[in-house]
């Protein structure tokens, strides 16, 4: 690897000093000559650790003293009692009411279309809201359309990810849903609305719009035209001041109606089985500790650039992330106005793989802990992953658990691969997400709904303070991490009026022996 970096530095140096055809010819010749050196170190690594043509200055350990200290004492430390135990549910359990009679109107007011952007979990929330808006408007919902993701270039449709037949059957008593429009409205397509202004498209739906907004602004257009397309649609329905039956329908869609297609379920379940079977076995041949932790790093270049934090990659990395911000967001990143220290003091900087590994070790997870890494790419490549991989060598991904033949049908389908990660993470004994995002929120809610499975939620402000305090010894650091996260292990937290039901499913989607969902 050192040799390949030397080749690249020489290429970069030449490019800085000269230009023109002669330089281009020399550069191409050097690259071709370097391929045998570059190939093993840059191109053959698994996708979870590869950052192709990333910044050439490799990141160095930012917390070397902590790493050295924990490595010396780790083998002497014992796993804390109850580390793998589920948190107390407080008596809360899934409680989505099932309809016995149809609540659909006798006559529909028209057809509702929505075009959903974003990744898998943003689209998941959009689907739930689309069903609810159709209910509010007494409309017939056309199966939501997924826009091509501009980052991953994924063209997966609803039917590629979710089981359409199960979706329709689950909601048939609540809302009329169709997979295609009648012939008279066949003109109403995504392509039609992309070519210019269309009277039947609503583009001004405010974020967190109320049901009344839809009744006032969308329903009349639907009744006069017969069909309405609402786009953009992400986060276009409020969470507060909604009737209980509307909230319950959201829960039903999210946790019951949305089921992955059989091919995704099949591979996800196979991978879970392999994770558990790969554990060390005792003398009787039984699994010694068939448990695993699912880890979502959320440390790709897009996130790193948007955070505007310094991640230890040197000047090359800082310049590359600044350029990325200027190209992708044209400088519209408010964090870029603050210094790295200010951002860290505010808990705004996502943890690096190194910091995640140190935190997990501080919580008591040992060297033998089985870890499933649910991430698409890691910014900084194998050099940045090396710290985490050294601490947890028993780390797996889709690419180490599944064969190339098993993954081939999902090649280039980022949302379908994310669905596999979702399924494996959902069934894990512990889920840990290094920073908040749609996947973290969706999984935290789903794991709470499924009788409260342990989900560790890092206190970013606390971790920022601990990582910037160079005077802490390892025992002091570890004690502070454990104490600071006793109540951040997935215990049920009741949703506040303006908070998302897709992050906090109680009390709207759940009930206790003392309080029923029908009383909410």
CA dihedral for 359, 360, 364, 366, sign (positive or negative):
negative
Between CA 421 and CA 182 the distance in angstroms is: 37
Residues 247 and 376 in one domain: no
β-bridge partners, 140: 111
Cis peptide bond prior to 507, omega within 30° of 0: yes
> 3-state DSSP call for residue 141?
strand
498 inside domain = no
CA dihedral for 259, 148, 418, 135, sign (positive or negative):
negative
What was the pLDDT predicted at 22? 42
CB 248 within 8 A of CB 93: no
292 inside domain = yes
148 inside domain = yes
What was the pLDDT predicted at 29? 40
What was the pLDDT predicted at 376? 63
Residues 403 and 339 in one domain: no
φ, ψ for residue 138 (rounded to 5)? Answer: 55, 45
CB 406 within 8 A of CB 267: yes
**Domain of 372?**
65-75+82-89+262-298+353-489
Residues 310 and 425 in one domain: no
What was the pLDDT predicted at 277? 85
pTM, full prediction: 0.85
Residue 255, both tokens: 């946790």
What was the pLDDT predicted at 61? 83
223 inside domain = yes
CA 349 to chain CA centroid, Å, is 17
Residues 476 and 366 in one domain: yes
**Under 8 Å CB-to-CB from 128, ≥6 apart: which residues?**
250, 253, 254, 258, 502
What was the pLDDT predicted at 40? 33
Query: What are the average pLDDT values for consecutive 10-residue runs of the chain, which has 520 residues?
Result: 43 40 41 37 38 57 87 79 90 75 86 95 96 98 91 89 98 96 96 93 94 97 98 92 91 96 98 81 53 93 91 88 89 89 90 95 94 86 88 93 96 94 97 90 94 91 93 94 94 92 94 57
CB 391 within 8 A of CB 367: yes
Residues 309 and 391 in one domain: no
Between CA 35 and CA 46 the distance in angstroms is: 18
Residues 291 and 425 in one domain: yes
Q: Which helix (H) or strand (E) holds 460?
A: helix 460-468
Residues 168 and 226 in one domain: yes
Residues 235 and 147 in one domain: yes
Beta-carbon-side half-sphere exposure of residue 430 (alpha carbons within 13 Å): 23
Residues 339 and 364 in one domain: no
Residue 415, both tokens: 């949302």
- Number of domains within the chain: 4
Q: Which of 225, 257, 289 is the last residue of a domain?
A: 257
Residues 390 and 280 in one domain: yes
Residues 167 and 195 in one domain: yes
């Amino acid at each position: 690897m050192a040799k390949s970096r030397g080749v690249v530095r020489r290429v970069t140096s030449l490019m800085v000093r000269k230009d023109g055809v002669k330089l281009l010819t020399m550069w191409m010749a050097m690259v071709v000559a370097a391929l045998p050196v570059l190939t093993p170190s840059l191109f053959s690594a698994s996708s979870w650790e590869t950052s192709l043509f990333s910044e050439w200055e490799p990141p160095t350990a930012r917390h070397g003293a902590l790493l050295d200290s924990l490595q010396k004492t780790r083998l002497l430390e014992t796993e804390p009692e109850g580390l793998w135990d589920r948190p107390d549910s407080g008596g809360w359990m899934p409680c989505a009411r099932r309809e016995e009679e149809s609540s659909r109107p006798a006559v529909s007011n028209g057809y509702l279309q929505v075009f959903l952007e974003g990744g898998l979990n943003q689209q998941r929330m959009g689907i739930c809201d689309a069903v609810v808006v159709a209910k509010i408007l007494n409309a017939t919902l056309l199966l939501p359309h997924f826009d091509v993701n501009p980052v991953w270039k994924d063209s997966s449709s609803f039917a590629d990810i979710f089981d359409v037949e199960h979706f329709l059957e689950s909601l048939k008593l609540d809302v009329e849903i169709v997979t295609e429009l009648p012939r008279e409205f066949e003109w109403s397509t995504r392509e039609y609305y992309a070519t210019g202004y269309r009277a039947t498209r609503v583009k001004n739906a405010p974020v967190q719009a109320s049901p009344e907004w839809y009744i006032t602004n969308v329903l009349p257009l639907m009744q006069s035209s017969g069909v309405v397309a609402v786009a953009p649609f992400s986060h276009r329905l409020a969470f507060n001041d909604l009737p209980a039956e509307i909230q319950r329908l959201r829960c039903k869609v999210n946790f019951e109606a949305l089921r992955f297609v059989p091919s995704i379920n099949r591979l996800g379940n196979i991978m879970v089985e392999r994770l558990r079977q790969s554990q060390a076995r005792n003398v009787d041949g039984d699994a010694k500790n068939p448990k695993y932790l699912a880890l979502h790093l959320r440390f790709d270049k897009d996130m790193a650039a948007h955070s505007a934090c310094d991640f230890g990659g040197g000047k090359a990395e800082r310049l590359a992330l600044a350029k990325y911000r200027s190209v992708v967001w044209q400088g519209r990143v408010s964090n870029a106005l603050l210094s790295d220290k200010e951002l860290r003091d505010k808990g705004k900087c996502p943890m690096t793989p190194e910091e995640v590994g140190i935190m997990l070790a501080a919580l008591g997870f040992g060297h033998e802990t089985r870890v499933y890494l649910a991430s698409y790419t890691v910014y900084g490549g194998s050099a940045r992953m090396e710290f985490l991989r050294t601490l947890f060598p028993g780390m797996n991904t889709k690419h180490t658990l599944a064969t190339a033949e098993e993954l081939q049908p999902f090649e280039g389908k980022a949302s379908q691969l994310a669905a596999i990660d979702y399924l494996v993470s959902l069934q894990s004994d512990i889920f840990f997400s290094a920073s908040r995002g749609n996947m973290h929120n969706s999984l935290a809610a789903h794991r709470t709904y499924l009788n409260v499975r342990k989900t560790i939620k890092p206190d970013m402000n606390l971790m920022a303070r601990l990582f910037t305090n160079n005077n802490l010894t390892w025992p002091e650091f570890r004690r502070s991490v454990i104490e600071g996260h006793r109540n951040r292990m997935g215990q049920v937290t009741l949703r506040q009026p303006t908070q998302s039901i897709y992050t906090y499913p109680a009390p709207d989607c759940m009930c206790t022996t003392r309080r029923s969902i029908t009383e909410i």
